[in-house]
Structure 1
Amino acid sequence: MCRQILGGCFRFESTSEALLDLVEAAYAGLPPHQLMMGTPEFRIELRLLPRQLSPSAAEPPPMRVQSGAGLLCGVMDASNYVVLAPEQRRALVVASEDMLSHRYHLRYELIEFAVFTLATRGLGLVPLHGACVGREGRGILLLGASGSGKSTLALHSLLQGLDFLAEDAVFVQPESMLATGVANYLHVQADALCLIDDDATRRWINQAPIIRRRSGVEKFEADLRLGHGRLAAAPLELVGAVFVSAQSADDPDVLLSVIPPDEIAARLSADQAYASGQPGWHRFEQRMMQQGVHLLRRGRHPRDSANALRQLLD
């Protein structure tokens, strides 16, 4: 099975239809983003092992990462792990039949870990924990701590007609500032439904499966490919970033404030602990300081925050 993801051509190989079905659920129907003239190929083998003899736990063990000898390994246990050879653009994902009952963890922590890591290393991308929306080829990066409201803002930006690039992970080419992502699912908590005015949108989210994060937080996992809003058809050129704050604005008509240039580098590094240690970070940081970064406080309704983002994209 071949899918164009994050600017690369990913070839998935397996004898297990169940594992390939998970790949299809994650990557079918995505806009085929392209970041460079050619499209590098990556190969991922997926192998299914027999069910473990011990009873399946309520939640798989957390992944531990090891590296050496040109390899990167993410290990849950002896039957569930990923081995990556970034220089060869290859990966092996091994899962037991038990993990098929933990589809979210299998997809997110094993398969997506392989895809995201190979793309980051092979395409020279800066991996960011954040969201991104835009219009007419221009994008705004949404940053902030977990619980600040990035997913809710991304949802309302989608409902207000902005292009949706990614909700949880954004990958940036630091020289061009082109951003790409995987716009497959949107994760929102139940309390966000009361802020949605459209009945069809509420039904779409309310009927979605519920996933449980490692933190214990439960969220709806709504499929963005069902036609609710517009997905970014191509990578977006970043024109700025916004730190989303859970704090309400003093003036509900003034939600945006400029972060002083001499504070931007420290704010970005503190927010992106993993990315700040990756190749390309320094150039990304320089470009972001040139473009400007804003703080976005909450208004009366999330649609007001989405309208504030429109101002930055005009």
Structure 2
Amino acid sequence: MDASNYVIVSPHQHYALVVASEDMLSFPYHLRYELIEFAVYILTTRGLGLTPLHGACVGRAGRGVLLLGGSGAGKSTLALHSFLQGLDFVAEDAVLVQSDNLLATGVANYLHVTEDALHFIEDKEAECWIREAPTIRRRSGVQKFEADLRYGPGKSADAPLQLVATVFLSRQVADDPGALLRPIPKYDIAAKLSADQPYAASLPGWSCFQQQLVKMGAYELRRGNHPIAAVEALRQLLR
């Protein structure tokens, strides 16, 4: 970032040095996001060989669902309600997957949700937990609450989850509120994955990893009347 705030990473040694000035301590979000998390993700991807995906992941009983979709598709909102409804939480922004066995992990530290996502929360304690959280502003300009998962009512996954399906979130409202999931034809999955994950698609080993996700299967999840309906649709995949 500048002469007093920088990261040195040596992936083959599994080592990183983070240097931050005293002034930077007044900007904890930028310190964590621009320096510390940068070092973590470089080490996990280049040092451990994990595939980094921009998405979310939730699950139960050791099984997980990978949630993908563009900005505004609703990944954070669905991850929030999955967390509140008792599903195990892995991550809502960056998911790291072992290419050989499709075990998914992540840095489960915060939930980032917009004001609009709170309209569907019926638990007042859960709503207060989020409203009392500090706010951050993404590079896109979107402002979000940054809720610390350690103080939330749900639980984080205590081990990596075995992926059983990939779900692409759609902004489109479902014609039938009782049928939100639609299987994606296998011949369409590879192209959707590459378009959704341009950074991961540029890394070595993407082709083999992509083939595994295609074999596993993928779905489109359209919007229902309430985010809880989407959570129930995910439960169907996790049985």
Task: Give your verdict on TM over 0.5.
Answer: yes
Write the distance in 1 (CA, Å) between the matches of 2:204 and 2:86. Answer: 34
CA contact (8 A) 1:124 1:280 kept: no
CA contact (8 A) 1:125 1:280 kept: no
Write the distance in 2 (CA, Å) between the matches of 1:307 and 1:137. Answer: 17
CA contact (8 A) 1:119 1:125 kept: yes
Write the distance in 1 (CA, Å) between the matches of 2:172 and 2:4. Answer: 44
Choose the corresponding residue for 1:208, options 125, 128, 133.
Answer: 133
Instruction: Report the CA distance between 1:194 and its aligned residue.
Output: 1.0
Write the distance in 2 (CA, Å) between the matches of 1:155 and 1:119. Answer: 25
Give the number of aligned pairs: 239
Superposed CA RMSD in Å reads 1.1
For residue 70 of structure 2, what is the aligned residue in structure 1? 145
Alignment of 1:291 with 2:216, yes or no, is yes
Choose the corresponding residue for 1:236, options 143, 161, 166.
Answer: 161
Q: Which amino acid aligns with 1:209?
A: P
Query: Counting helix residues as a fraction of each chain, which structure ranks higher?
Result: 2
Write the distance in 2 (CA, Å) between the matches of 1:118 and 1:104. Answer: 20
For residue 52 of structure 1, what is the aligned residue in structure 2? none
For residue 98 of structure 2, what is the aligned residue in structure 1? 173
Write the distance in 2 (CA, Å) between the matches of 1:277 and 1:300. Answer: 37
Residue deviations 1:278-302, cap 9 Å, x none?
1332222111111100000100000
CA contact (8 A) 2:5 2:21 kept: yes
Q: Which moved more, 1:196-205 or 1:278-287?
A: 278-287
- Aligned identity (percent) is 67
Q: Which amino acid aligns with 2:42?
A: T
CA contact (8 A) 2:126 2:152 kept: no
Q: Which moved more, 1:76-85 or 1:215-224?
A: 76-85
Quick check: which has more Rg, 1 or 2?
1
Query: Counting strand residues as a fraction of each chain, which structure ranks higher?
Result: 1
CA contact (8 A) 2:129 2:152 kept: no
For residue 89 of structure 1, what is the aligned residue in structure 2? 14
* Structure 1: gaps (5+ residues): 1-75
Write the distance in 1 (CA, Å) between the matches of 2:126 and 2:37. Answer: 27
Q: Which amino acid aligns with 1:219?
A: K
CA contact (8 A) 1:246 1:298 kept: yes
TM-score normalised by L of structure 1: 0.74
Runs of 4+ in 1 over 3 A off after TM superposition: none
For residue 41 of structure 2, what is the aligned residue in structure 1? 116
Q: Which amino acid aligns with 1:271?
A: D
Query: Any idea what SS the aligned residue of 1:230 has?
Result: coil
Residue deviations 1:72-99, cap 9 Å, x none?
xxxx223222221111222222222232
Q: Which amino acid aligns with 2:220?
A: L
TM-score normalised by L of structure 2: 0.97
Q: Which amino acid aligns with 1:277?
A: S
Return the structure number with greater relative CO, CA threshold 8 A, min gap 6: 2
